[in-house]
Structure 1
Amino acid sequence: MHQGACHCGAVRLTLPSTPEVATACNCSLCRRSGGPWVYFPLGTVKIEGHPECTTEYIWGDRTLRNIRCRTCGVVTHWEPMDPVACPRQGINLGNFDPALIAAVRVRRFDGAETWTFVDE
């Protein structure tokens, strides 16, 4: 199990398994909030300090709730607005040990224009 946290430690995340692939997206939000992102079935990542220590930002097509720490402002994860339509959540891998990030294959995703992966 891998444990991570926002900068101040108010929001703590525990992954259920080691991710094999992460996504680095260049959309207007992801390029600002960091990443890379890993995805797990909704409810499988243990998140402590949420919702009491977090706030959300909803934008665009209003399908995702972007979550950040109320204290330090670090983006920790996103959740779907409709868990039936999207039963997964995205976790900001930047909140974990750099060795974990280095061990995961990171795919580049063009979320700004083509909405496709730009690597092989």
Structure 2
Amino acid sequence: MIQAQCHCGNIKLQLPKLTDTMTCCNCSICARYAALWGYYLQPEVEISVGEYGSRQYCRGDREILFHCCNQCGCVTHYSAIDVSPTSRVAVNYRMLEPQLIKELTIRYFDGADTFKAVEKVQFTGLL
């Protein structure tokens, strides 16, 4: 198991493994969060929230919730509003130790205009 967590450790996410790629999206919200997303099915991710709790932000089409730590403010993941075993959870790979993701390929997704993947590049640790 791999553990991701917010800066203060209040929100922890247990992942079965890393995905082969991580996604960098340029939509209006992802560009501001500077997240690198790894996608999982809902049952694959175990999420625990500590005493400080979390808050959610629902944007645009009202289909997903962005989850943030109430203590340190990190955006840890997003999930579907209507949760089911087939719904997706996107984990912000920036919550992992950098050495864990340094070999992964980044899939750039044009969420701002075309809503299509545009290219894949090797992660350098700086974005």
TM-score by length of 2: 0.86
Distance in 2 (CA, whole Å) between partners of 1:72 and 1:44 is: 25
Q: 8 Å contact 2:42–2:85 — kept in the other structure?
A: no
SS class of match (1:43): helix
1:43 deviates by 2.5
| Higher-RCO chain (CA-CA 8 Å, sequence separation at least 6) | 1
In structure 2, do the counterparts of structure 1 residues 114 and 85 end up closer, same or farther at CA, with 3 Å as the change threshold? farther
| Contact 2:18–2:38 under 8 Å retained in 1 | no
CA distance, structure 1, for counterparts of residue 32 and residue 114 of structure 2: 19
Which consecutive aligned stretches of 4+ in structure 1 deviate over 6 angstroms post-superposition? none
Alignment of 1:1-120 (within 5 A): 1-49=1-49, 53-84=53-84, 87-119=87-119
Quick one: distance in 2 between partners of 1:85 and 1:42?
6
Show structure 2 runs of 5+ residues with no match. 121-127
Unaligned runs of 5+ in 1: none
In structure 1, distance between residues paired with 2:60 and 2:91: 19
Q: Which amino acid aligns with 2:108?
A: R
In structure 2, what is the Cα distance between the partners aligned to 1:51 and 1:43?
23
CA distance in 2, matches of 1:96, 1:54: 18
Q: TM-score by structure 1 length? A: 0.91
* Partner Cα distance (1:73, 1:109) in 2: 25
Looking at secondary structure, tell me which structure has more strand per residue.
2
RMSD: 1.9
Kindly tell me the number of residue pairs found equivalent between the two proteins.
Answer: 120
Q: Deviations over 1:30-67 (max 9, x none)?
A: 01112210010103111111796110000100000110
Q: Is the CA contact (8 Å cut-off) linking 2:41 and 2:86 kept in structure 1? A: no
Alpha-carbon distance change, 44 to 21 in structure 1, aligned in 2, over 3 angstroms = same
The alpha-carbon deviation at position 91 of structure 1 amounts to 0.4
C-alpha separation in 2, matches of 1:60 and 1:101: 29
Contact 2:41 2:85 in 1 (8 A): no
